[in-house]
Amino acid sequence: MTDAPEPELPRGIALAWGVAANPQRGPKREMSVERIVEAAVEIADAEGLGAVSMAAVASRLGFTPMSLYRYVSAKDDLILLMQEEATGAPSDATRTAGDWRERLEALFREQLQHYLRHPWVLDIPITGVPATPNSAAWMDAGLSALAETPLSYGERLAVMLLVTGTAHWAGTILAGYSRSEREQGLDGDAIARNEDALFRALITEDAYPDLRAAIEEGVFLEDSDPFTFALERGLDGVAAYIAAVGDADRPSARPWLGLDDAEITDDKRFREAQKAVRAAEKALRDARKLERQAAREAHDRRARQAASG
C-alpha cells in the first residue's frame, strides 16, 4: 500500500470503467457511449482505423459531430474504447483450460483471434498499458494461470508479456499477409512462392551464405507456424525455470535447516508444515484478491455517489 492520493481518471478510462457522468443534455435513447463505440468499430472493421473520425461516426449514426462530443470528448478516448471493445476479455474456457502452460497457450490463441477479427487494433500506437477493465482481465488471467507456480509476481507478469507480445507480433504479421492476399488477389501459397523467388533472385551465397542455405532448403515455402513454435520454446524455458526455482525452495537448498532432503522429506510433521505454508500462501493470495475487489467496489460506490450528488 502507498500513501499516494487516488488519481483523477482521464475521461476515456472513466468511460471504460463506467464511472464517468453521462451528459445532461443531448439526444436521448438514440445516442450512448456504447452505440458510438459500436459504430466506430464497424467503420474500422470495414475500412481500417484511418477511416475513423468523429465526423464519420456521427454521420453513420445520423447525428452531428458535436452530439458525439457530449459523450466522448476526444478521438483518443474513442480509440481507447474501441480497443477495449475489440479485444474483449478472456473467456471462462480459456481461464480454466488446464495447467499453467495450457492456460497461457489458450490465452495466446484467443488473443490472436481477437487481433485477426479486428486487425486495426494492431495499428493503435502503444503508449503504455491501457488501464481498462478488459486489459486488466487479460493480465489477471495470465497471473492466475501462474498463481500456483513459485514465480514472483514480477516474473509472472514477464511471462504474461512473453505470451501477449508473441500474440501481438503474430497478429501483425498474419494480418499483413491477409491484407496482401486481398489486395493482390493471391492466396497464401502464391505469396510464399513469390517471396521465395524474390529471395532466390537477390540473395547470393557469397554475400549471405547462411540465408542462402536456408532458402535452398525451402525455408520460405515451409507450411509451419513459427509463432507457435517460438511461444512453445519460450514456455519450455519458463517450465525449466519454474523447476529450478522449485528445486531451490526444497529443504536441501535451505542451509539453515542443517538437514538433507533424505533426512526430513519423509517426516510427517515436516510435510504437514509444508502443506500449511502452501495453504497460507493461497489464503494470502485469495485475501488480496478480495481486498482488490472491495477497493474497486468502494471506488464505484464513491463514483456513483458523486455523480448523483
Length of the chain: 309
pLDDT in tens, 118-170: 999 999 998 877 788 999 999 999 999 999 999 999 999 999 999 999 999 99
Please tell me the distance from the alpha carbon of residue 166 to that of residue 164, in angstroms, as a whole number: 5
Would you state the pLDDT for residue 254? 47
Query: Using 50, 70 and 90 to split pLDDT, how confident is the model at 12?
Result: confident
Residue 250 DSSP SS3: coil
**Which residue carries 452531428 as its cell?**
64
For residue 23, CA distances in Å to 15, 32, 226, 255 come to 12, 10, 49, 65
Residues 244-254, mean pLDDT to the nearest whole number: 58
The alpha carbon dihedral of 241, 246, 251, 257 has a sign of positive
Residues 252-269, mean pLDDT to the nearest whole number: 55
Would you state the pLDDT for residue 266? 64
Q: Which three cell numbers stand for residue 239?
A: 517450465
Please tell me the distance from the alpha carbon of residue 89 to that of residue 126, in angstroms, as a whole number: 19
Please tell me the distance from the alpha carbon of residue 273 to that of residue 286, in angstroms, as a whole number: 20
Contact present, 171 and 122 (Cβ < 8 Å) = yes
Model confidence, pTM: 0.74
Query: Using 50, 70 and 90 to split pLDDT, how confident is the model at 231?
Result: very high
Point out the least confidently predicted range of 54-68, 130-144, 270-284: 270-284
Contact present, 35 and 3 (Cβ < 8 Å) = no
Would you state the pLDDT for residue 183? 85
Residues 1-7, mean pLDDT to the nearest whole number: 58
Domains parsed from the chain with CATH numbers: 11-87 (1.10.10.60), 92-295 (1.10.357.10)
pLDDT exceeds 60 at position 281? yes
Helix, strand, coil proportions of the chain in percent (round to 5)? 70, 0, 30
pLDDT exceeds 80 at position 267? no
Please tell me the distance from the alpha carbon of residue 202 to that of residue 212, in angstroms, as a whole number: 10
Please tell me the distance from the alpha carbon of residue 197 to that of residue 205, in angstroms, as a whole number: 15
- At 178, the amino acid letter reads S
Point out the least confidently predicted range of 12-16, 80-84, 250-254: 250-254
pLDDT in tens, 165-210: 999 999 999 999 898 888 888 888 898 999 999 999 999 999 999 9
Q: Give the residue with greater pLDDT, 237 vs 257.
A: 237
Would you state the pLDDT for residue 256? 41
Q: Give the residue with greater pLDDT, 272 vs 22.
A: 272
Q: Which three cell numbers stand for residue 215?
A: 532458402
Residues 70-90, mean pLDDT to the nearest whole number: 92
